[in-house]
Amino acid sequence: MSEIYEQLQKALKSIRKVTDFVPEIGITLGSGLGGLSEKIDKVCEISYKDIEGFPVSTVSGHDGKFIFGNLSGRKVVCMSGRVHFYEGYKMSEVVMPVRIMGLLGAKIILLTNAAGGINTDFKPGDLMIIRDHISVFVQNPLIGQNPDELGVRFPDMSSVYDKALISQLEDSAAATGITLQKGVYIQLTGPSYETPTEIKMLRTLGADAAGMSTVVEAIAANHMGLRVAGVSCITNMAAGILDQPLNHEEVKATADAVKDKFERLVMHFVQVVH
């Protein structure tokens, strides 16, 4: 058994001691978007600190736990809070929670995040469907011994974000009266925000929104054959677009201001997704 798979099995065992809940859909909630977890008709909750070998988040606004329960009539597991590379974890640790959601039974993973808008047509408060990503500025989470039990050594990334799920997200937006942007998300390591020149460069490369998560989780989920959908909440315009400095308080405040819209979209999507 590969080392990573062995670690995952230990973590899985800790969870299975507490619950035999089998989710259909796994959801990660980005900065300031954790309120959705309160809409879950909760069956059980497990803190990352109670799971053997699990990384524990340290950022304010990211409390790390799995919430199991029913949302819009579907069985979900929700990652409330995630761990980030900038906290000092290895990328293989950063993707443990998403891998565990898959091993618990989830076949569909919805990844959400707070992101800076690089596309100047965007405005703070917009929601963006992720149609593709750029991963080349962060370490690949699959570096190291390949866990063959999960997937192949050289996985295809031609369509990381499932086309049917993108279309269902668009249908949910139409049904709930929400306008969505669609674009390319780029992950950077953080924790510092980008410079105006870096943002100009990233725009040239084809990125529409920048953040510090999601891409590595999408790669790991895709590697193990899960269907992935992603939604970014554009919490601020990226550096240099507006004449104002960036800060985490603004990110959390914008995410909080759009939480009703975000929750409506996700709850409808979860109800109809197939």
Active site residues: 31, 62, 84, 86-87, 114, 212-213, 236, 248
Q: Hey, what are 192's tokens? A: 């510092």
Would strands 108-117 and 209-211 be described as parallel, antiparallel, or unpaired?
antiparallel
Q: Does an H or E element contain 89, and which?
A: none
Q: Is 31 one of the annotated binding-site residues?
A: yes
Q: Is 83 annotated as a binding residue?
A: yes
Do the beta carbons of residue 259 and residue 155 sit within 8 Å? no
Min dist. Cβ of residue 196 to ligand HPA (A) = 11
Provide, rounded to whole angstroms, the least separation between the CB of residue 261 and ligand HPA: 17
Q: Produce one character per residue of 84-96: b if its CB has 16 or more CB atoms within 10 Å, e if not.
A: bbebebebbbbbb
Smallest separation, CB 25 to ligand HPA (Å): 24
Say whether 223 counts as a known binding-site residue: no
Beta strands 74-80; 25-29: pairing state? parallel
Amino acid at 103: L
Which residue's CB is nearer to ligand HPA, number 69 or number 211? 211
- The Cα–Cα gap between 101 and 85 comes to 19
- Closest CB 23 distance from ligand HPA, rounded Å: 27
Nearer to ligand HPA, 91 or 210 (CB): 210
Quick one: tokens of 16?
Answer: 């299975």
**Is residue 185 within 8 Å of residue 234, measured between CB atoms?**
no
In single-letter form, the type of residue at position 19 comes to: T
CA distance 55 to 47: 11
Residue 53 Cβ vs ligand HPA, minimum distance, rounded to whole Å: 28
Closest residue to ligand HPA using C-beta atoms? 116
Number of Cβ atoms within 10 Å of the Cβ of 47:
14
* Residue nearer to ligand HPA on the CB measure, 169 or 212: 212
Residue 114 is assigned to a ligand binding site = yes
Interface with ligand HPA (CB under 6 A): 114-116, 193-194, 210-212, 235-236, 238, 246, 251
Cα(180)–Cα(126) distance, rounded to whole angstroms? 7
Residue nearer to ligand HPA on the CB measure, 46 or 233: 233
Identify the helix (H) or strand (E) that includes residue 180.
Answer: strand 180-187
By C-beta, is 55 or 61 nearer to ligand HPA? 61
59 has binding-site annotation: no
**Is 84 annotated as ligand-binding?**
yes
Structural element, H or E, at residue 230: strand 227-237
Annotation: binding site for a purine D-ribonucleoside: 194, 236
Extract the annotated binding site.
Answer: 31, 62, 82-84, 114, 194, 213, 236
Binding-site residues from annotation for phosphate: 31, 62, 82-84, 114, 213
